Amino acid sequence: MKGSVGEAGEFGLIRELTSRLTTTPAVRLGPGDDAAVVSAPDRRVVASTDLLVEGRHFRRDWSTAYDVGRKAAAQNLADIAAMGAVPTALLLGLVVPSELPVAWPSELMDGLRDECQVAGAAVVGGDVVRGDTITVAITALGDLRGLEPVTRSGARAGDVVAVTGWLGWSAAGYAVLSRGFRSPRAFVEAHRRPEPPYHAGPAAAGLGATAMVDVSDGLVADLGHIARASDVRIDIRSRAIDVPSQMNDIGQAVGVDPLRWVLTGGEDHAIVATFPRGTKLPARWKTIGEVHAPSSLPSVTVDGAPWTDQSGWDHFSDIEG
Amino acid sequence: MKGSVGEAGEFGLIRELTSRLTTTPAVRLGPGDDAAVVSAPDRRVVASTDLLVEGRHFRRDWSTAYDVGRKAAAQNLADIAAMGAVPTALLLGLVVPSELPVAWPSELMDGLRDECQVAGAAVVGGDVVRGDTITVAITALGDLRGLEPVTRSGARAGDVVAVTGWLGWSAAGYAVLSRGFRSPRAFVEAHRRPEPPYHAGPAAAGLGATAMVDVSDGLVADLGHIARASDVRIDIRSRAIDVPSQMNDIGQAVGVDPLRWVLTGGEDHAIVATFPRGTKLPARWKTIGEVHAPSSLPSVTVDGAPWTDQSGWDHFSDIEG
């Protein structure tokens, strides 16, 4: 469909967007009615909402609409997985300027659809309105399949801390992009399109994870959420964390300790969890620390000492990229 | 809490907003984790998303933050009810400028909470980010309690059309406000704060409603959705529609036929449904028309003829108020 969203009109745009969607058996009623109907076999539904605003969470000159869609879906579906649930559905609220080409929301929808397919979910509904700033509001739903949700508050002294997925790749890619470079490609791609380990969330719940989050604000910051909610201290062993050699090279090139990206970079949506000591973890989980009783130290320490770098970021204090 | 949202910071603002919430037994896990967990006893969940953008869907000089909250919740919860489901939960995505006083989102949250309470639901989670334009993204969830969802596509020739709730009140209130007046108060209030008949949706489903929508775009436009989805023609009998005398007075004062407000005014979130002829409807439902086989006439007619006025509105063509 050519032309602008203003030319397409509300119903024309909605037709174009919904025509791009695929479905799953969990979708009992898809887009086009007052509401969608989605299977919730567990008799509980897990739900999470996130917003992305142009200029703050994405830039059209850095990311294609397709990549923004992949990323927007990924960050929400990762929240579902980090509760131990299997993602089932996604709803989209979209603010678009009327002069925006229809191709942009169409490719955004393709990205949402494809990321949903990776996670086993489907886009089931949404709303599109006109406004000055592109804003993408996503709600993801999921099913617990009989497992208890893994919250932030269950970590106990003696538990081990383990992580799966990518850490610091998006932040390193952001550092590259913000200096005007487009490579190394793997890191730029990681910034544009995270790859959360969706399957690992429900698997961790099945293995008895005591607390779990997806890493969206940075490893130290997100473990801080667990530490405070569980009233424990979490210590990370920096030597247990692998820094890829290419990330070291970027760090040297831009004058940044790459450990900073690994410890404070968000947006890769790795999954970090605490497990009872002795839990046999699958190969792609890496044990990176331990849970301790609270002390006078900060709630998260690195090698037993406070981490002095900026930990994570405040959505209100700076652009995220 | 005093000061601006920028001064409060993301986590300070979230603490302030969540402190205002109440809960229900359906809320298994409320705000503060990666996602919320809500009961879905029916094993299916009904979900709908809507967006409100400042300047397009509300004006801060016409509506308080509290009223915007009531209205934002109402329009979403009505979508759930119009499927025949009981609303259970609501999630909020909120874009706020950093200079906005914290009081604004706080009062918005109070409005969301109170409207949820009217409908039996609760706010269970959300996301807050900074941006230039206040944007409110709402997702509502609901439970079907064993009934089949009532879609737009089940109307059959011979069915009757019935409506419950308010029609044209919000549009009349908008006409008053847009001319600089603040009364009659009942209509201004109706524009600021709709009162959808939530209970009527599940009740209609239980009575065997064949198709149902909430009136958000206007009666003719929304019945048009049913007519097209069901491949029928719907005829409204204008004499069956009560126009309150005060609405007639406003119409005379501003030179508008009040039937236009009743037939094309959205935002009251009345519920309109089709039922098999002979269905015994509760007292507050009013039969206003019949379903016919499709013909060369438009999909919705008034007294057997095309309705010539503008029917409903396109979100992309004009401000809604």
Per-residue pLDDT reduced to its tens digit, B97-121: 999 999 999 999 999 999 999 999 9
* pLDDT over threshold 70, residue B210: yes
pLDDT, position B182: 86
Three-class SS state of B75: helix
Longest dimension (CA), chain A: 61
The reported pTM is: 0.93
Angle subtended at Cα A127 by Cα A121 and Cα A128, rounded to the nearest 5 degrees: 120
| pLDDT bucket at B11, cuts 50 / 70 / 90 | confident
Per-residue pLDDT reduced to its tens digit, B258-313: 999 999 998 899 999 999 999 999 999 999 999 999 999 989 999 999 987 654 44
Angle subtended at Cα B142 by Cα B115 and Cα A14, rounded to the nearest 5 degrees: 95
Crossing angle between the packed helical segments B245-254 and B169-178, to the nearest 10 degrees = 30
Angle subtended at Cα A46 by Cα B38 and Cα A151, rounded to the nearest 5 degrees: 95
Pick among B139, B152, B267, B319 to test the A interface (most A CBs inside 10 A): B139
Instruction: Please give, rounded to a whole number of angstroms, the shortest distance from the CA of B262 to a CA of chain A.
Output: 20
Q: How far is CA A299 from CA A220, A304, A307, A314, in A?
A: 9, 11, 10, 18
**Residue A243 class from Cβ within 10 Å (0-12 exposed, 13-18 middle, 19+ buried)?**
middle
Query: What is the Cα–Cα distance from B131 to B140, expressed in whole angstroms?
Result: 23
pLDDT, position A320: 35
Cα B207–chain centre separation = 22
Q: Which residues of B touch A229 (CB under 8 A)?
A: 32-33
* pLDDT over threshold 90, residue B319: no
Pick among B316, B317, B320 to test the A interface (most A CBs inside 10 A): B316
pLDDT, position B183: 87
Q: Going from the N-terminus, what domains does chain B have, and what CATH number goes with each?
A: 9-143 (3.30.1330.10), 160-306 (3.90.650.10)
pLDDT, position B309: 64
* pLDDT over threshold 60, residue B225: yes
CB of A228 within 8 A of CB of A176? Answer: no
* pLDDT over threshold 60, residue A310: no
- Rg value, chain A, Cα: 20
Cross-chain CB nearest to B131 (options A39, A53, A229): A53
Run of H or E residues at B13? helix B5-18
Q: Which residues of B touch A9 (CB under 8 A)?
A: 314, 316-317
Query: What is the Cα–Cα distance from A49 to A68, expressed in whole angstroms?
Result: 16
Residue pairs spanning A and B at CB distance below 8 A? 230
Cross-chain CB nearest to B139 (options A9, A135, A139): A139
- The residue to which tokens 């029609």 are assigned: B167
| pLDDT bucket at A312, cuts 50 / 70 / 90 | very low
Query: What is the Cα–Cα distance from A155 to A292, expressed in whole angstroms?
Result: 9
The end-to-end CA distance of chain A, in Å, is: 29
CB of A277 within 8 A of CB of A215? Answer: no
Which among B45, B41, B42, B46 is positioned nearest to B26, based on CA atoms? B41
Three-class SS state of B211: strand
- The residue to which tokens 């029928």 are assigned: B232
Instruction: Please give, rounded to a whole number of angstroms, the shortest distance from the CA of B259 to a CA of chain A.
Output: 25
pLDDT, position A96: 97
DSSP E strands: which ranges in chain B?
Answer: 27-29, 36-39, 44-53, 86-96, 122-130, 135-143, 160-164, 211-214, 233-236, 271-275, 286-292, 300-302, 305-306
Amino acid of residue B170: S
At B142, list the tokens.
């609901």
- The residue to which tokens 């029917």 are assigned: B311
- The residue to which tokens 């008895």 are assigned: A208
Is A139 at the interface with chain B, CB within 8 A? yes
| Cis status of the peptide bond prior to A196, with omega within 30 of 0 | no
Which residues lie below 8 Å from residue A155, measured CB to CB, with a gap of 6+?
Answer: A210, A211, A226, A227, A230, A232, A234, A274, A291
- Rg value, chain B, Cα: 20
pLDDT, position A269: 95
Is A25 at the interface with chain B, CB within 8 A? no
Contact B213 A94 (CB under 8 A): no
**DSSP track, B24-70:** -TTEEE-SSSSSEEEE-TTSEEEEEEEEEEBTTTB-TTTS-HHHHHH
- CA neighbours closer than 13 Å in the CB half-sphere of residue A73: 31
Instruction: Please give, rounded to a whole number of angstroms, the shortest distance from the CA of B227 to a CA of chain A.
Output: 13
Report, as an integer, the average pLDDT of A205-209.
98
Per-residue pLDDT reduced to its tens digit, B28-53: 999 999 999 999 999 999 999 999 99
pLDDT, position A314: 44
pLDDT, position B307: 85
As a three-state string, the secondary structure of chain A is: CCCEHHHHHHHHHHHHHHCCCCCCCCEEECCCCCCEEEECCCCEEEEEEEEEEECCCECCCCCCHHHHHHHHHHHHHHHHHCCCCEEEEEEEEEEECCCCECHHHHHHHHHHHHHHHHHCCEEEEEEEEECCCCEEEEEEEEECCCCCCCCCCCCCCCCEEEEECCCCHHHHHHHHHHCCCCCCHHHHHHHHCCCCCCCHHHHHHHCCCCEEEECCCCHHHHHHHHHHHHCCEEEECHHHCCCCHHHHHHHHHHCCCHHHHHHHCCCCCCEEEEECCCCCCCCCCEEEEEEECCCCCCCEEECCEECCCCCCCCCCCCCCC
Residue B90: closest CA among chain A residues belongs to which residue?
Answer: A47
Angle subtended at Cα B81 by Cα B80 and Cα B85, rounded to the nearest 5 degrees: 80
pLDDT, position B45: 98
CB of A26 within 8 A of CB of B206? Answer: no
Contact B49 A151 (CB under 8 A): no
**Residue A121 class from Cβ within 10 Å (0-12 exposed, 13-18 middle, 19+ buried)?**
buried
Query: What is the Cα–Cα distance from B102 to B12, expressed in whole angstroms?
Result: 10
Query: What is the Cα–Cα distance from A143 to A149, expressed in whole angstroms?
Result: 10
Per-residue pLDDT reduced to its tens digit, A45-81: 999 999 999 999 999 988 899 999 999 999 999 999 9
Query: What is the Cα–Cα distance from B75 to B196, expressed in whole angstroms?
Result: 8
pLDDT, position A309: 64
| pLDDT bucket at A166, cuts 50 / 70 / 90 | very high
Query: What is the Cα–Cα distance from A167 to A182, expressed in whole angstroms?
Result: 20
At B34, list the tokens.
């990666």
Q: Which residues of B touch A124 (CB under 8 A)?
A: 47
Report, as an integer, the average pLDDT of A290-294.
97
